[in-house]
Amino acid sequence: MTVFIIRRLLQAALVVLIMSLLVFGGVFLVGDPVEMLVSDDADQAEREAIIKSMGLDLPFYMQYLRFIGNALQGDMGSSFVFQEPAMQLIVERMPATFELAFAALFIAVVIGIPLGIYAGLKPDSWVSKTIMTGSILGFSLPTFWVGIMMILLFAVMLGLLPSTGRGDTVEVLGIDISILTLDGLSHVLMPAVNLALFKLSMVIRLARAGTREVVHQDYIKFARAKGLSEARIIGVHLFKNIMIPVVTVLGLEFGGLVAFSVVTETVFAWPGMGKLLIDSINFLDRPVIVAYLMFIVMLFVVINLIVDVLYSVLDPRVRLQEMKS
């Protein structure tokens, strides 16, 4: 197990190093922040001083090596616009994004798994066919369009839910949380459902496929032959075995929920990291863009590592295959 984890850590470090080069190089090639940040009235001396203060006078490889050196010390650079550490800006908005992602994941799991199991147990019923048709819509409809339609229906026409903002928050361990207040729940409901639609459809299909595969296994037939109740067969024998692929995919998809909440946060004006990224792109605020993208890379790497370890615990054959390779 220790060798398995060490090998995974080395692979993760290599991935982070390669991605840092790709991210920094990609952002370096896009536009010139000097044109966005330096006033047209500035003379040449002021212009050169500002360029030097931002480190933009150095060649690419020097900027990259400086970035890596600072990053190893926990410094991801300072925002050109806000003049504050980039990671501090991201951390300040992190609770809102994580809160939205967790709410979306909760909706996808709580609704998706029961619907998927039902569709797998009774594939020919009209309810199951309706569930599967709905999952196709969840995959097909664009997130931004669904978000706009939800605002039009529930906020503008019916006036049931607020369309933007985060609502009232309460402080827990120094972190502002909105889902613990009624006003906050009313604000998070629409963006969370909007963000969860794609994942919900995916969970339904995963649970259905797993159920269809497991329900015909000999141990399920044996459990029925022993006279066990249907609830025990589903809750113990079936549920545990369909959760391996679901846990794997959901773990990876949580990173996707955080990374790709940009559209939902923009549509609902949710004050999270995604909105910060959009604002930073508009001003070519390179340090914040790079810090955000590297944070997402680290998030994916850590989640992959955790999922791999969990997967090897659930199925020891994975660990043995890794050792043989």
- Phi-psi map region of 268: left, alpha, beta (phi>0 left; psi -120 to 50 alpha): alpha
**Pick from 35-49, 144-158, 162-176, 200-214: least confident:** 35-49
CB 8 within 8 A of CB 308: yes
Q: Which two tokens stand for residue 79?
A: 């925002």
Residue 49 has φ and ψ, to the nearest 5°, of: -65, -40
Strand (E) or helix (H) holding 133: helix 126-140
pLDDT tier for residue 318 given thresholds of 50, 70 and 90: low
Choice between 202 and 322, residue whose per-residue pLDDT is larger: 202
Task: Using the predicted structure, report yes or no on whether residue 312 has a pLDDT greater than 80.
Answer: no
Q: Dump pLDDT digits (tens) for 230-261.
A: 777 777 777 777 777 777 777 767 777 777 78
Average pLDDT on 82-95 reads 84
Rounded Cα–Cα distance for residues 6 and 67 (Å): 26
Q: Name the percent of the chain lying above pLDDT 90.
A: 0
CB atoms within 10 A of CB 16: 15
pLDDT tier for residue 322 given thresholds of 50, 70 and 90: low
Across 47-56, 102-111, 175-184, 294-303, which has the greatest mean pLDDT? 102-111
What is the model's pLDDT at position 316?
65
What is the model's pLDDT at position 278?
83
Q: What angle do CA 13, 67, 86 make, to 5 degrees?
A: 100
What is the model's pLDDT at position 321?
62
Rounded Cα–Cα distance for residues 109 and 222 (Å): 29
CB atoms within 10 A of CB 46: 12
Q: Dump pLDDT digits (tens) for 8-18.
A: 788 888 888 88
Q: Scanning the structure block, which residue is given the tokens 């370096």?
A: 28
What is the model's pLDDT at position 325?
58
What is the model's pLDDT at position 314?
66
